[in-house]
Structure 1
Amino acid sequence: MKLKNQHIEEFLQSGLLDRYVIGDTSDTENTMVEDMINQHSEVQLAYDKLQEELFLYANTNAITPPDYLKEQVLNKVTPRKELEPEYSKHENWLSIAAVIVALLALSGLGYLYQQNTGLKQEIVETTTQFENLERDYELNDTQKRILEMRLAFIEAGDTEKYLMRGYIEEEPLRVIAYYNQPAGKAQIEIAALPELEKGLDYQLWADVDGEMVSLAVLNDLKPKTISAEILKKASDLNITIEKAGGSKHASVENLVSSIPLNTIP
């Protein structure tokens, strides 16, 4: 009995039964395997289990085969009357097994294709992220250069600085005007801008020979470039509250801040 069990165990571990299930055995091996299946219930159980696992795997990983393959399968599994029943049955099973192997191969190719497609997608996404980082870096680098130029302009010895102050319902308004006449440049930095009612904006004016000339509408905290040519002729700067988007004429009654400019000959 012990020798019998050892013989069965050696057979099951040889891989011959696995090859038989997928049709990868010779005629001699087929006879040997079929004898083992018929003589030993342990081998029969192992054989049945392998078939179930193979069908389960094929069903789980199935893909739609081409039409021509379907026709070949139907032709293969149609019994041939001239063959002996046992031989015909085994050939049909081998044919089915071969088809299953083909389907599994196709499934494997499909899986590899999906993996390859996924990898390509990851590469595309990574490349896009890298390009975005490059653009962000370039943008940050540009912003850095702009800031450096702005600071150089502000700190230049020829740049005059005018701090305009005011209060809107006890909230401070702070606008700093920078003017460099030799360089012909002027800009403003907005340090504090109290929120106004909807439909209203602040507006910056230059007084040129008694006439208010608009320089900028102030509705956010972003720095703004203003006309140095107008400042060259102006006697003072003024901020008023106007309708949203600005006005063509200053509403002097709504003046919230004013500061005189130095007269440079």
Structure 2
Amino acid sequence: MDKQEYIESGILELYVFGQLEEPEFSQITEMAKNDEDIRNEIISIEKAIINFSESVAPFLSSENYEKIRASLLIKHKITTDEKPKPSIGLYLGWAASILLMIGVGYQYVQLEDKKSKIETIETEKSKLQKSVTDLDLQNKNTEAALAIVRDNSNTVVAMEGQEVSPLSYSKVYWNKSTKAVHIDATGLPEPPEGMVYQVWALKLNPLTPTSIGLLDNFKGNTKRFFTVEKAEEAEAFGITLEPAGGSPSPTLGQLYTLGKA
């Protein structure tokens, strides 16, 4: 057999473990002196025995294995406290694991960042949609108010400020055919907390007030344009400041605006 077949035959392992008889043992000893490949393979086997457990030589007793291993340690000048160096494969395994964790962590951060950006975009989209909806509603309300103001069938009643608030003013748009009433309260101050403006349709002789609604949500109505209940008959209109929920009859001391129809 050639040299490689000889190395792979297992005879060198038996040589290292001392399991060969003379003259075969002496023959391999002589070969190792003259052949570098044989010598290196023997050294490699000896170092493997030092680094691994007795399971590599199941045909030896534990006692004999330890004797051989101790002898090899002395031969290679290795103390029993010395630990075998981990193979490069182990280092590569740890490196791969660390790189994997870094990669997974990076992907997680990237994913969370993308999720955060998507949520931000969705929030901004919702805000924009709400703004568009609100603007569309405002435009419709403005168009409706303009249509009322421009409708020649509406009677416009100018209401002037009274003693409690001389600078106040308002307007009533009253359609005598449909009886619909709309109030422009731009000239009224914001009511105090817990108070509300109440609109009255008045008959003057005798003075008979009829409530036709409250100007609720005064703060929220930026146009200050309100639709109240219909007025069947009216000779004048007045607006008073009343407790929240309104009053059954007007508080004349809190009459803000008044105008004849």
Which residue number in structure 1 is paired with residue 123 of structure 2?
Answer: 128
Contiguous gaps of at least 5 residues in structure 2 = 1-50, 57-72
Aligned-residue RMSD, C-alpha: 3.1
Which residue number in structure 1 is paired with residue 6 of structure 2?
Answer: none
Contact 2:158 2:172 in 1 (8 A): yes
Q: CA deviation at 1:88?
A: 3.4
Contiguous gaps of at least 5 residues in structure 1 = 1-78
- Deviation readout 1:15-49 (Å, 9 max, x if unpaired): xxxxxxxxxxxxxxxxxxxxxxxxxxxxxxxxxxx
Identity across aligned pairs (percent)? 24
Contact 1:162 1:176 in 2 (8 A): yes
Letter in 1 for 2:242: E
Structure index of larger Rg: 2
Superposition map of 1:1-265 within 5 A: 80-81=52-53, 88-91=84-87, 94-167=89-162, 172-194=167-189, 200-208=195-203, 210-218=207-215, 220=218, 222-228=224-230, 230=231, 232-261=232-261
Q: CA deviation at 1:164?
A: 0.7
Select the structure with the greater relative contact order (CA < 8 A; seq sep ≥ 6): 2
Whole-Å separation in 1 of the counterparts to 2:144 and 2:152: 14
Q: CA deviation at 1:97?
A: 4.0
CA change 1:98–1:195 in 2 (3 A) is: closer
Letter in 1 for 2:214: V
- Deviation readout 1:68-123 (Å, 9 max, x if unpaired): xxxxxxxxxxx7456986993141x5414421321221221221122022113212
Whole-Å separation in 1 of the counterparts to 2:197 and 2:239: 7
Per the alignment, in what secondary structure is the counterpart of residue 97 of structure 2? helix
CA change 1:199–1:149 in 2 (3 A) is: closer
**What number of residue pairs does the alignment pair up?**
180
Per the alignment, in what secondary structure is the counterpart of residue 258 of structure 2? strand
Whole-Å separation in 2 of the counterparts to 1:198 and 1:88: 86
Whole-Å separation in 2 of the counterparts to 1:252 and 1:90: 100
TM-score normalised by the chain length of structure 2: 0.58
- Deviation readout 1:163-213 (Å, 9 max, x if unpaired): 111145665111111112334432101122246666554422112474211
TM-score normalised by the chain length of structure 1: 0.57
